[in-house]
Amino acid sequence: MDFGKFKYEQTKKKQEAKRKQRSTQIKEIKVRPKTDDHDLATKVRHIEKFISKNDKVKITLVFRGREFILKEQANQVLEKIVVMTEEFAQVEQAPKFEGRVITMLLGPR
């Protein structure tokens, strides 16, 4: 077998493997502790669209200024999101508190 044919077959195998490969991206949705139910419903529709494309969704809850006091309200917002998305998404990373930001990762069910 000559080397040119060997290299050609190798590139064909790489292309075929790349074609069958599936990539997932992490999309981000930002919310605040005082985000209202209607706005959450809109964000949940965006989450559903991202999850349907097999992407993961990182939910970032940001505190500004004195909102830092509203930790219970922030947890309620995240729980509402989990309840609204439970039929098509699952929590891959529980809410984690880092400075003035709480992050949570949702993935396809």
Residue 18: the pLDDT is: 86
List the chain residues with pLDDT less than 70: 1
pLDDT at 29: 96
What integer pLDDT is reported at residue 23 of this predicted model? 77
User: Domains along the chain?
Assistant: 24-108 (3.30.110.10)
> pLDDT value at position 19?
85
- DSSP one-letter string for the chain: --HHHHHHHHHHHHHHHHHH-----EEEEEE-TT--HHHHHHHHHHHHHHHHTT-EEEEEEE--GGGGG-HHHHHHHHHHHHHHHTTTEEEEEEEEEETTEEEEEEEE-
Q: In this predicted structure, what is the pLDDT of residue 68?
A: 87
pTM check: above 0.85 = no
